[in-house]
Amino acid sequence: MNIAEKLREMSPQDFALVGMQQLAYIKPTLVNGVSGYSIHAADGTQIGMAPSWDIAFAAVKQHELEPVALQ
């Protein structure tokens, strides 16, 4: 069975979890009038904040996650 066939057989719930433990997204945010970048797990849970994109990116990589940017 190839990977495409295995993916087709997955339940919608299992498919939604693919990559959940490997991805984090970074998005610009404003907190108390201060610009920063929030870091979220793939399910949307906020897991951190950083004052700059570079620091947010480094924090995500340091925790062995793959960063994804959202606008």
pLDDT digits (tens, 9 = 90+) for 48-58: 999 999 999 99
| DSSP-derived 3-state class of residue 18 | coil
Name the pLDDT band for 19 (thresholds 50, 70, 90).
low
- The pLDDT of residue 10 is 82
User: Would residue 19 be called left, alpha or beta, if left means φ above 0 and alpha means ψ between -120 and 50 degrees?
Assistant: left
Q: What is the mean pLDDT of the chain?
A: 86
- The pLDDT of residue 57 is 94
**Strand 66-69 versus strand 34-41 pairing type:** unpaired
pTM of the model: 0.71
Which residue pairs from 29-36 have beta carbons closer than 8 angstroms and sit at least 24 positions apart in sequence?
none
Is there a contact between 49 and 7 (Cβ–Cβ < 8 Å)? no
